[in-house]
Structure 1
């Protein structure tokens, strides 16, 4: 009787361990993907760059910084009034592709 109880206990523990391992294998790989998706949606909501007037010239800033990364030798005063006003408040870009498009638009 004792031998049979030990066998049942061992079998039960084996099943529990197998289920735990299976859940770990399924759940753990999903966590980085969920974190990456959350990070992407958060990044998409918050612009990475801003193009704006800096001492009369067009400059690129990271949105979290006060000093420009790049200052172009293009005077804001030479642009149409609408563009000048937009650069006073800042023109935001979500990513480098959009930033490059804006730079091309404002500097050419």
Structure 2
């Protein structure tokens, strides 16, 4: 009887350890619609974005928002571009034009989080 209880306890512990180990070994599956490598924040090629009022770009290594003056930013955030994924870094090198303030806020929140 004592051996059966001990064997059951050991079995439960082993199954728990295997389950926990598998959780850390198996990579998390991200649906394609949320994968950052598939999401493009650039407008379609045919759309002219030069008239968009906001430009997100790197400034002195940080995320910055430019409006009229493309030399001095209007806002600089404590988000270092080097900490962002490579896709985002590449986009911010050339700048990301944004059409509306709401879209600008959403993009900044994405970069900050």
TM over 0.5: yes
1:45 offset after TM fit, Å?
6.9
Q: In the aligned structure 2, how far is the partner of 1:50 from the partner of 1:99? A: 9
Counterpart selection for 1:72 from 61, 65, 77: 77
Partner deviation per Cα, 1:20-70 (whole Å, 9 max, x = no partner):
xxxxxxxxxxxxxxxxxxxxxxxx8710100110010000000x3121011
Structure 2 partner of 1:59: 64
Q: How well do the aligned residues superpose, as a CA RMSD in angstroms?
A: 1.5
Larger radius of gyration between Structure 1 and Structure 2: 1
Q: In the aligned structure 2, how far is the partner of 1:57 from the partner of 1:95? A: 21
Structure 2 partner of 1:107: 112
- Provide runs of 4+ in structure 1 moved above 3 Å: none
Structure 1 partner of 2:36: none
Matches for 1:1-108 after TM superposition, within 5 Å: 46-62=51-67, 64-65=68-69, 66-108=71-113
User: What are structure 2's unaligned runs of at least 5 residues?
Assistant: 1-48
Partner deviation per Cα, 1:52-93 (whole Å, 9 max, x = no partner):
10010000000x312101100010000010100000000111
User: What are structure 1's unaligned runs of at least 5 residues?
Assistant: 1-43
The structure with the greater share of residues assigned to helix is 1
Q: In the aligned structure 2, how far is the partner of 1:47 from the partner of 1:78? A: 27
Q: What is the TM-score of this pair, normalised by structure 1?
A: 0.56
Q: What is the TM-score of this pair, normalised by structure 2?
A: 0.53
